[in-house]
Copies of this chain bind each other. A is one copy, B any other.
Amino acid sequence: MTRSILGIDADDTLWHNETIFQWTIERFIRLLGNHALSDHLAERLIATERKNLRLYGYGIKGFTLSMIETAVSVADEGLPSSVIGEILALGHEMLEHPVEPLPGVAATLAGLKREGHRLVVITKGDLLDQEQKLARSGLGDLFDAVEIVSEKTPEVYARIFGRFGAGEGDAVMIGNSAKSDILPALAAGHWGFHIPYHLTWEAEVAEVPAEAPRYRRLSRFDEVPAALAAIGRA
């Protein structure tokens, strides 16, 4: 049996996340519908979010600030401050939203740990929020380490996997985002197990070259053990 270093993304890989953003965006649009030209509100919010990414990074706090900025910019001076209060409340709700693991995740992780694989969460987002989600998910004890990073680059994967003594091709990154989880892990010489979520945040859309030899596409998290076996690592 070959034990591997498994890097595992969190949002939309371990638990639902993008659905909560989409649901919040719908509520934001309904909230502003009475106070602003509601045309293209979602597009304007996304544009604001992208503009602020350089300063705010990923996560709910920056997203809430971008919702407020969008509201201020599309509404006239008559926007009641109670609407701002309601946007703040949307942000709080997101931060306190129950963490719902995706099907098969808990049992699969427990099995992988039992077989001696080293499991490392590698995720972007707000530090405290991601730590609290991991704690609330009940999955925290299954991981050997948690790495919350501001950006997922080949250098970041090389540094994290290197700390566990992984040479080229020794580690497998598992995640839903081709752009953040798969392409940079492949570029660092490791494996990428891609498990798409049914929704993808626009900023995370990317193509994976079909011929990448260390790329595997899975449908569900519980296919990970068989995929590891197929590449001789289980």
A contact set with B: CB distance below 8 Å: 55-59, 61-62, 64-65, 68-69, 71-73, 75-77, 79-82, 84-85, 88, 91-92, 95-96, 126-129, 131, 148-150
**Complex alpha-carbon distance, A81 and B76, angstroms:** 8
> In the complex the two chains form, is B68's CB within 8 Å of A84's CB?
yes
Q: What's the nearest-Cβ distance from chain B to residue A70, in Å?
A: 11
The reply to whether A88 and B72 form a contact with Cβ atoms under 8 Å apart is yes
Contact A56 B150 (CB under 8 A): no
Contact across chains for B77 and A81 when beta carbons are under 8 A apart: yes
- Within the assembled complex, what's the spacing in Å between the Cα atoms of A72 and B72? 13
Contact present for B128 and A57 (CB under 8 Å): yes
- B65 pairs with A61, CB closer than 8 A: yes
Can you spell out 5 A-B residue pairs with CB atoms less than 8 angstroms apart? Answer: A55-B95, A58-B128, A61-B126, A84-B84, A127-B127
Cα separation A79 to B84 with both chains bound (whole Å): 11
B92 engages A55 (CB within 8 Å): yes
Complexed CA–CA distance, A96 and B73 (Å): 21
Contact of A71 (CB < 8 Å), options: B56, B62, B81, B131: B81
- Tell whether, in the assembled complex, residue B127 and residue A55 are in contact, meaning their CB atoms are under 8 Å apart: no
Knowing A127-B149, A150-B128, say if A61 contacts B56 (CB, 8 Å).
yes
A8 to B148, CA, bound (A): 20
Q: State A73–B82 Cα separation when bound (angstroms).
A: 9
**What distance in Å separates the Cβ of A123 from its nearest Cβ neighbour in chain B?**
11
Chain B minimum-CB-distance residue to A163? B163
